[in-house]
Structure 1
Amino acid sequence: MEAAAPHSPAEARLTVTSPDQMRELGRRLAKVLRAGDLVMLSGELGAGKTTLTRGLGEGLGVRGAVTSPTFVIARVHPALGDGPPLVHVDAYRLGGGLDEMEDLDLDVSLPESVVIVEWGEGKVEELTDDRLQVVIHRAVGETTDEVRQVTLTGLGERWASVDLTVLAA
């Protein structure tokens, strides 16, 4: 893939065939993330959003087991080394837009953290023009319901020169 022109979306489409592969994708994705990155995860219940985030946590080397923060809304995982902390948000139960999200102070956390937001569509886009959108779909017609189609789209200047196809390795 050639480097995208500034502000053109960088994109990659991958097929993931197991939870272990989803977790490994998260570990690989962690290598391209840095402090200040916002990652929005979407997909139906059980698609693998939290499994991907577990792999991200492992790849970033953060403290604590990464579990779904559905009932606490947000969980901070401090870095064990010199990397950025991981802020994992589940916005599923939040009905409002950014106003409701402001109580979480994500705008304060974002510059020094990697912020992952599950179910963030229509709620966190105003935080930054630079974000990575990850959409996970169950593959239709596959013989196993473990198969997922993952589309990663990098938006904004931050992602313009990032080759997301390296994640398929």
Structure 2
Amino acid sequence: MSVPETGGVPETGGKESGGAPLWVQTLTVTTADQTHALGAALAGVLRAGDLLVLTGELGAGKTTFTQGLGEGLGVREGIISPTFVLVRIHPNLPEGPRPGGPDLVHVDAYRLGSAAEIDDIDLENTLDSAVTVVEWGRDRVEHLTESRLEVELHRQLGGAAPAHQTGNGALDFESEDDDEARTIIIRGFGPRWAEQPVLAAEGIS
């Protein structure tokens, strides 16, 4: 895992995005295991009340990243692509690595057309007590809190991964078991993220 560019990257954000980020970190991962490890590393700096906006085309690694995040937070296993589930709550495990830590709320905003529709699912009820990850939440969740992280994943070869049939007959649109290189861009917004966190994981400096 290499870090070609970190911090201090000027970028202009529009009104919908809540202004420009305070910092930008760009990472390159070459395996699914590294994507998973990066999620686990980021979990180490998260706390209850943190909001993450996760974007990336199908197959970019969003589910793998979120599974690593959940492992690092010590929540119940079973994190899957939320393609068919709008909101899923993964409770913290007393026997996990962070007993007493926050739950993980995993949201799919792909089919939600506006911030008003986000309000309809009552994320405010869990926002302060959990780490909330909203896939495709850009321009929809910025009003929920003054601080957030945006995590954007890109397959470097481009194009979405094809859908695969699963054992129960459902289609898995988030096939991420290949080891194509990915670029992961993390942006920090608001006072909670005034300082860029140090991600303590193998290959990250």
Mark yes or no: TM-score above 0.5: yes
Within 1, Cα distance between the matches of 2:142 and 2:155? 24
Say whether residues 1:65 and 2:99 are aligned partners.
no
Between 42-51 and 97-106, the greater mean CA deviation after superposition: 97-106
The answer for the alignment partner of 1:127 in structure 2 is 144
Partner deviation per Cα, 1:76-111 (whole Å, 9 max, x = no partner): 0010121100000111122x2111111221122111
Task: Kindly name which structure, 1 or 2, has the bigger radius of gyration based on alpha carbons.
Answer: 2
Query: How far off its partner does 1:125 sit?
Result: 1.1
Let me know the Cα RMSD of the aligned residues. 2.2
SS class of match (1:70): helix
2:193 paired residue among 152, 156, 159: 159
CA change 1:2–1:132 in 2 (3 A) is closer
The answer for the alignment partner of 2:183 in structure 1 is 149
Size of the aligned set, in residue pairs, is: 163
Within 1, Cα distance between the matches of 2:100 and 2:38? 22
Amino-acid identity (%): 53
CA change 1:148–1:55 in 2 (3 A) is same
Structure with larger RCO (C-alpha < 8 A, sep 6+): 1
Query: How far off its partner does 1:2 sit?
Result: 8.1
> Could you tell me the TM-score, scaled by structure 2's length?
0.73
> Could you tell me the TM-score, scaled by structure 1's length?
0.88
Query: How far off its partner does 1:54 sit?
Result: 0.3
Within 1, Cα distance between the matches of 2:185 and 2:69? 16
SS class of match (1:117): strand
Within 1, Cα distance between the matches of 2:30 and 2:68? 15
The answer for the alignment partner of 1:100 in structure 2 is 117
Give runs of ≥4 in structure 1 deviating > 3 Å: 164-167
Query: How far off its partner does 1:145 sit?
Result: 6.6
Higher helix proportion: 1
Gaps spanning 5+ residues in structure 1: where?
A: none
Within 2, Cα distance between the matches of 1:118 and 1:50? 10
Gaps spanning 5+ residues in structure 2: where?
A: 1-5, 9-19, 94-98, 159-177
8 Å Cα contact 1:70/1:91 also seen in 2: no
1:48 paired residue among 58, 61, 69: 61
Within 1, Cα distance between the matches of 2:157 and 2:84? 30
Within 1, Cα distance between the matches of 2:190 and 2:146? 6
8 Å Cα contact 2:26/2:183 also seen in 1: yes
CA change 1:60–1:165 in 2 (3 A) is closer
One-letter amino acid of the counterpart of residue 37, structure 1: D
